[in-house]
Structure 1
Amino acid sequence: MSRIITLFCFFIAQIGFSQSAENYLEKIRNNEALLTAFFQQMPKGGDLHHHFSGSVYAEPLLERAIAEDFYLNTETMEVAKTKASKGNWETFSSLKNNGKLDFYKQQIMQTWSAKDYNGSVPSDDLFFDSFLKFETTIAGHFAEGLVELKKRALTENVSYIETQLSTIPCDMKVDDLSVFNVKLHEAAAVKDEKAVLQLLDELYQSIQKKEAKKYAEDFNTNFIAKLHNDLKIDDDRFTMRYQNFVLRFMNPVDLFKNLTIAFISANSSKLVAGVNIVSPEHGDTSMKDYWLHMMMFKYCHTKFPAVKYTLHAGELTLGLVQPEDLTWHINDAIYIAGANRIGHGVDIAYEANSYDLLRYMAKNTIPIEINLASNEFILKVKEGRHPFTLYKEFNVPIVISTDDAGILRTNMTEQYVLLAKRYPDVSYATIKQYVYNSINYSFIQDEAVKKQLLKNLDARFKTFENQFSKN
C-alpha cells in the first residue's frame, strides 16, 4: 500500500497540484493503482451494511484456532473445540506434528474466504457456508475482532461502522407456543393479514410474560455496552453502532421471539442502532416465510415505532431462483415491512412495477445499500448488469458498503475504486454525496453524535481536497 501512496504523491507532484479533486479523478479513471491511492486517502464516512463475523479476516481466526488447538474436520474445514462423532477430525497440534499443517492452512483460507477462489464450488455456497466453518473462533473473541475492524477503518479513513455484531442469546422456553407455527403458516398461505397480525399480537403477549425484556437488558448491558465501553471504541476519529439481527431459517415462533427481543433491545439502548434479518434469501424457509417475516417487522414497528430497521431484500438474481420469485421481495420489504433502508436490492429491475417502487424509494428517502464486491462474488452481478445505475437514475439515496469484507477479501476503498472505474458518469461530487449519505442515513440515535461525524467529515474533506488546489 505504501508503494501505491508513493506513486500517488509522485503523480500529484508532477502535475503541480494545479487542479481540483474532480479533475484529478477524471484523469485517473482507468488506472486502478492511482484510484486506489486516491480513495484510500479520501474520507469515506460510514459502512452501513456490515456483518461483524464476515468482516474479520480469516488469518486471525485461523491463528486463534491453531493457538487454542481446535479440532479440524479435514474434509469440510470446519473447526470445533471438541471432536464431533461424525467426520474425520484432527487437532491442529497433530496436523503440525505430522507435517500437514501448512497444507490444511491453505485449504482453510480457501474455504473460510474467497482467497484464491477457483470456482471449484459455487461462489454463493462458499460464501454462506463459510460462516458455520469458522464461527467457533468468534465466540468469546468479539473484542479482538472489534479492535481489528476499528484499526482497519482508521487506516482507510472510514469514520463510522454500523455492524451486525451478534444474535441475542436467549434460552426462553417456547414449546408451549408451538401451535402458533401452524396457525401462522396457515394464515400466511392465504395472505390473511388481519389473522396474522392477531396471531402475532397473541404471541407477543405470551413472549412478554416470559420476560423477554430481561434478555434485551442483559444483552445491552453485559455485552454491547461492556464491549463498547471497555474497548473505548468511540473517539474523536471513529464511531461504531450495532444492529441486532434475526435468522430467516428459524420457525415462526422462534424467529418472532428473537425479533421481539431485538426490537426491545434497540428501543432501549442508544448503542443499538437498529434491527435486520439475515441468512440466504433464496433458502427454502426464507422464500416460504418471506411475506410472514415482513408482517412480523410490520407488527414490531407498531410496538416500537422509534426503532429503525434495514432489510436484506432482493439479494437474488435470474437463475438463483425462479423468475417469478424476483418480483416481490423489495416490494414487500418496503410496502409491507416498512423498511427504512434496503440492503443489496439487486433484483430491482425484475420487481413488479419497479419504476413506481423506485420513485417511492426516492420520494420517501429509503436508501439502497450498494455492495459491489459482494454482489459480484456471490451473485455474479456486476457492471451493466448491476442495478446501481437504475437506482441512480431514479434518485434513490445511495450508500456504498462492504457487506463481508473478511470473507470477500475486500475493503471500503475497493468499493469506491470499483464504483469509479465501472461507472465513469459518476462524478466526484456524486461520490462525495454518497459518503455524506452514509452518515445522514445511518441509524445513529444521538443527533449530536451524527452532527459531530458530519462536522468531522467536512474537515476531512477540506484537508483531502486542499491537496489538489495548492500551487
Structure 2
Amino acid sequence: MTRIITFFCIFIAQISFSQSAESYLEKNRNNEALLTAFFQQMPKGGDLHHHFSGSIYTEPLLERAIAEDFYLNLVTMQVSKNKPSNGNWETFSSLKNKGQLAFYEQQVMQTWSAKDYNGVSVPSDDLFFDSFDKFFPVIDGHFAEGLIELKKRALSENVSYIETQFSIIPCDMKLDDLSDFNSKLRQAASQKDEKAVLKLLDNLYQSIQQKDAKKYAADFNTNFIAKLHKDLKMDDGRFTMRYQNFVLRFMEPVDLFKNLVIAFISANESKLVAGVNIVSPEHGENSMKDYWLHMVMFKYCHSKYADVKYTLHAGELTLGLVQPEDLTWHINSAIYTAGANRIGHGVDIAYEENSYELLRYMAKNNIPIEINLASNEFILKVKEGRHPFTLYKEFNVPIVISTDDAGILRTNMTEQYVLLAKRYPDVSYSTIKQYVYNSINYSFIQDTAVKKQLLKDLDARFKTFENQFSKN
C-alpha cells in the first residue's frame, strides 16, 4: 500500500510540474523574449536532422580562412587553399594590405550564410545550396574544430544528442569498366522496371565488392570516425554524438551506388555510424531524373544490410519550385519503395498522391517526420499555415523537431521551438515535450543502453526544468 501511495504521489507531482510549465508557456506564447528564455532552458533531447558542415557558423570559418591566408574569389566569395588558374582571386592578407578586408568579410558573411539576406539579390535556395562549396575548403582538415563547436553549442542550449550527417566516405575506386551501367540503369528506371534495376544492381554490387569496398568503409570507420570521436571525447555524461553517412544525389548512378554500398557497409560495421542518408537539392536535374532509381538503390542495400537504418530527404519541394506533378510521389517512393525509417522535411505531403493514406501508413508504422521550420521558411518560403506540420500532427505521425543547417541559416534548436510555439498555439507543452522524447526514441542509436541512459537523463533534466515553475 505504501508503494502504491508513493508512486501515486510521484505521478501527481509530475503532472503538477507539467501543468505549471504548461501554464507558463500559455501565458507567454506571444512574447518572443519570454518564449526564448523558456525554450533555451528546456531540455531539447536530440537534433536528428543535422548537417555537420552547414551547422558550423560562418564566423569561425572566416576567421580560419583569414588566419591561414586562403585565396578568395572576389566575385563568388569561394575560398581556396591554393590559387586556382581561372578567376579573380586574392589572398586575405593582400585584401588587408589594401584596406579591403572588412568589406570582403561582410560579403563572405552574406554569401556563406543567411546573414542580412534581403530576399532580392539571389534566390534563397541558391544562396543556401551554393554556400557549401564556397566554404568547404576551410572545413576540410578541420573536422575536430567543427565537432567541438557543435558540442559546446548543444550543451549551452540543453541539447543532449546530435545525429549529424557528417562526411562522404573518401574513395578512389576505379569504375571505368562499369560506366555502361549508368545508361542501363537509367533505361530500366525510365520504364519503372524494378526487377531489371535490381538485377543490374546485383551485378554492379558484385563488381564493387570485388574492388574491395569493405576496405574503404573500414578505413573511414577506424581512422576517421572512431579516432575523432575518441580523441575529442565526444560522448560524456552530458552529451552524445552519432554520425550518419550520406551520398550525393547529383552523382552518376554507378558512382552514387558505389558510395551508397560503402556507406551501408560502414554503418553496418560501426556503432558510431547511426545510419545513412541522401543529400543535395532534391529539385536538381539528376536528383529529379534519378529519384526513383535512388529509392530502389536504398531498397537493394537494405536487402544486403537489413540492420542499417536510413532516413531520407524527401518532399523538400513546394509549388513553383518544380512542376505540380513532381510534388505527388517523392515521399510515397521514399516510404513504399525505399522503406525509409524516417523522413526529412516532407514539405510536399499535401500534394502527394493518396496523402491521407500515406500519413496513416506513417503513423501506423511509426515513421517519424523531421520538421525543420527555419530551414523550410528560408529555402522554400513555406511557413505557418502553409507548412504541413499540422497535417502530420492531425494524423498522429511521430514528429521530431530539428535544425537542418543552423550555421548557414543563423538559427539554433531553441528558435525551432520558439517558432513552433508561436505559430501553432494548439500545440501544448505536453505535446512539445513528447516531441523532445521522440528525438531520442526515434534516433538511430544502435546501443540500447546508450538510448536508455539518454532517456533517463532526459527525465532528470525535465524534472529540474519543471521544478523552476513549481516554485513560482
- TM-score w.r.t. the length of structure 2 is 0.96
Q: How far did 1:53 drift?
A: 0.2
Question: Counterpart of 1:164 in 2: which secondary structure?
Answer: strand
Q: 2:222 and 2:19 mapped to 1: Cα distance?
A: 51
- Alpha carbons 1:74, 1:89 under 8 Å: kept: yes
In structure 2, the partner of 1:62 is 62
1:82 aligns to 2:77 (yes or no): no
Distance 2:186 2:376 in 1: 31
Matched with 1:350 is 351
Deviation per CA, 1:14-65: give whole Å up to 9, x if none.
xxx9970010000000000000000000000000000000000000000010
Deviations 1:266-310 (A, max 9, x none): 000000000000000000000000000000000000000000000
CA distance in 2, matches of 1:409, 1:42: 20
**Could you say which residue in structure 2 is the equivalent of 1:197?**
198
Query: Is the CA contact (8 Å cut-off) linking 2:18 and 2:466 kept in structure 1?
Result: no
- Alpha-carbon deviation of 1:251? 0.3
Aligned-residue offset at 1:180: 0.5
Q: Once the 2 structures are TM-superposed, how far is the Cα of residue 86 of structure 1 from its aligned partner?
A: 1.5
SS in 2 for 1:468: helix
Deviation at residue 82 of structure 1 after TM alignment: 1.0
CA separation in 2, counterparts of 1:266 and 1:432? 30
Please report how far the alpha carbon of residue 460 of structure 1 lies from its aligned counterpart in structure 2 after TM superposition.
0.3
Corresponding residue number in structure 2 for 1:299 = 300
Q: How many positions carry a matched residue from both structures?
A: 455
Superposed counterparts of 1:159-170, under 5 Å: 159-170=160-171
Show CA shifts across 1:170-197 (max 9, x none).
0000100001011101100100000000
Query: Cα gap change, 1:416/1:298 in structure 2, threshold over 3 Å: closer, same or farther?
Result: same
3-state SS of paired residue (2:310): strand
Does 2:127 correspond to 1:126? Answer: yes
- The equivalent residue for 1:12 is none
Corresponding position of 2:309: 308
1:417 is aligned to 418
Paired amino acid for 1:85: S
Q: Distance in 2 between matches of 1:247 and 1:25?
A: 41
* Structure 1 equivalent of residue 396 of structure 2: 395
Taking the aligned partners of 2:170 and 2:140, their CA distance within structure 1 comes to: 12
Amino acid at match of 2:296: M
Task: Note closer, same or farther for the CA distance 1:95–1:311 as it changes in structure 2 (3 Å cut).
Answer: same
Give the Cα separation in 1 of the matches to 2:423 and 2:331: 25
Match status 1:212 vs 2:213: yes
Given residue 231 of structure 2, which amino acid in structure 1 is its aligned partner?
A: D
Give 1:83 shift. 1.1
Q: Give TM-score scaled by structure 1 length.
A: 0.96
Mapped pair 1:282 → 2:311: no
Q: Residues 111-168 of structure 1: CA distance to partner in whole angstroms, max 9, x if unpaired?
A: 0000000121000000000001001001000000000000000000000000011000
SS at match of 2:343: strand
Question: 1:186 aligned to 2:160?
Answer: no
Number of the residue aligned with 1:143 = 144
Q: Helix, strand or coil for the counterpart of 1:90?
A: strand
Unpaired runs of 5+ residues, structure 1, are: 1-16
Secondary structure of the equivalent of 1:333?
Answer: helix
Question: What is the percent sequence identity of the aligned residues?
Answer: 87
RMSD: 0.9
Equivalent residue for 2:241?
240
Could you tell me whether the CA contact under 8 Å between 2:18 and 2:430 is conserved in 1?
A: no
Distance 1:82 1:128 in 2: 23
AA at the equivalent of 2:95:
L
Deviation for aligned residue 1:67: 0.4
Within the alignment, does 1:22 sit opposite 2:18 as a pair?
no
- Displacement of 1:84: 1.2
Tell me the distance in 2 between the aligned counterparts of 1:248 and 1:413: 30
4+ aligned runs moved over 4 Å, structure 1: none
CA contact (8 A) 1:71 1:90 kept: yes
| Structure 2 unaligned residues grouped into runs of 5+ | 1-16
Contact preservation (8 Å) 2:373, 2:416: yes
Q: Quick check: 2:69–2:92 contact (8 Å CA) kept in 1?
A: yes
Cα contact 1:29–1:421 (8 A) shared by 2: yes
